[in-house]
Amino acid sequence: MAISLNSALIQPSAAQLSQSSQPLTAKTLSEEQQKTTVNINPAAIYHPSDEAPATSPTVESIETWIGRSRSPDFPQVAERHQNAHQSLKSSFEEFQSALAHAYPDLADKKFGFTIQADGSLKALNTSGALSSSDMNRLNNLLNASSSLKSAASSYRDASIELVAADSVWGGSYMGGYNLNKENFANTIDLGALFLKKGSTPNAETLNGFFSSQLWSKGERMTQEMEVQMLTERNAKKIDETV
């Protein structure tokens, strides 16, 4: 749009406004007009004396426990566990052979056994075929074998060390469990480790693997348990090097 500017002087108008003879009178607003006036005008204006506090986002702290990584000496620990497994297998086979010769009725029945916190062996009626009398005889015979008790104790210690040396989220995934002398008897059936494994996978076959028993019956590791376990493990290493 073009704008034209002119510098010529424009004279003001000399016209006079004439006075009106009509008097000015105030008019009363109707009820409808009064309501409209109230609605379009604020009733009050609030002026805060203090500034409104600035809002800040809520911060929520979330702690996540990742767990330990596999110990550098895990291969050596695994080798000791394998050696303990072979020693226990030999001792148990000798026990079974002697049992078949002296008590064939017991030898024909399926049973398991484990080692308790005090080092004593305990028969397990896994098949449900043993009477209370059978259980008493088996417990006495198991604990009468010093070689079997010694092998079971060594295997338990090696198993506890194996789990402690493994990782929570890697390796063989055994590090997520807390295995100790107190809960070993409720976790591992030593006799099941040496049952003949068939070609068809079943619950009995899976129990033939140490890791499978640990995963199905083991106590889950917590952060507090891990701290205590690592402290005890490090203290044991120091004692062994002194």
- What percent of the chain is modeled with pLDDT above 70? 73
What pLDDT was estimated at residue 20? 59
Q: What is the mean pLDDT of residues 206-232?
A: 91
Read off the pLDDT band of 202 (50, 70, 90): confident
C-alpha distances (whole Å) from 34 to each of 15, 27, 30, 41 are 40, 12, 6, 11
What pLDDT was estimated at residue 52? 60
Q: What is the mean pLDDT of residues 87-100?
A: 98
What pLDDT was estimated at residue 127? 87
Q: Where are the domains of the chain?
A: 74-241
- Lowest pLDDT segment from 34-38, 66-70, 138-142: 34-38
- Flag whether pLDDT at 100 surpasses 70: yes
Contact assessment for residue 103 and residue 137, using Cβ atoms and an 8 Å cutoff: yes
Contact assessment for residue 188 and residue 119, using Cβ atoms and an 8 Å cutoff: no
Read off the pLDDT band of 40 (50, 70, 90): low
- Flag whether pLDDT at 139 surpasses 90: yes
When the pLDDT of each residue in the chain is averaged and rounded to a whole number, the result is: 84
What pLDDT was estimated at residue 60? 74
